[in-house]
A and B are shown apart, each in its own frame.
Chain A
């Protein structure tokens, strides 16, 4: 069964450093998402991406964040200058465009980001 993959599974970085989290959505999916989950808290929406542009973003997704689809398979989340409060699990998700109305999102296994 096709699945969303994410790399790395765990990233440790120092405050102020840039990090790039990578996702490979399911191959025929066209709509992509990033969510984050601070330890012990709920899952929060960050951004959705379709047709090579951001379609929706939350108040969390400020200028420190950016997303990109650099090629036909990868979808990345960049944090330019990490803060301690960016420490969280980051989930990538994707959906087939034609299923958008019924909306079953497929989530990747997550990348745990630890900022020290």
Chain B
């Protein structure tokens, strides 16, 4: 069975602060894929990043960065110099490989509020 845990239900920061959203996953597959999605108040799901299990290189995209550590089964997401527009619910998701079909398993989400 697959599982994604986002222990932080809500985070509130002041604009320009850095914030890290935690994600811990469980899977029996040796090949798997990890994702982050953003859900703004309008409700749609916006794809942010995909990471393959065989690629542990961290990634930076503008103010966003992701830290993937297989040793701790974590895929954390950092927003640098947060902005009010970053306020949203952020979901971490897992797609297994050989045994888990093609479904995405989502975490519970972290509500991020960035205050001016």
Contacts and interface: CB of A to CB of B under 8 A. Distances in A.
Chain A binding surface SS class = strand
Contacts of B44: 107-110
Contacts of B91: 42-43
Interface of A: 31, 33, 35, 41-45, 48, 55-56, 58, 89, 91, 95, 100, 102-110, 112
Given A102-B33, A103-B50, A45 B45 contact: no
Contact of A104 (B43, B50, B108): B50
Interface residues of B, number: 20
A14 B18 CA distance: 46
A42 B108 contact: yes
A56 B33 contact: no
B103 A109 contact: no
A56 B43 contact: no
Nearest to A100: B102
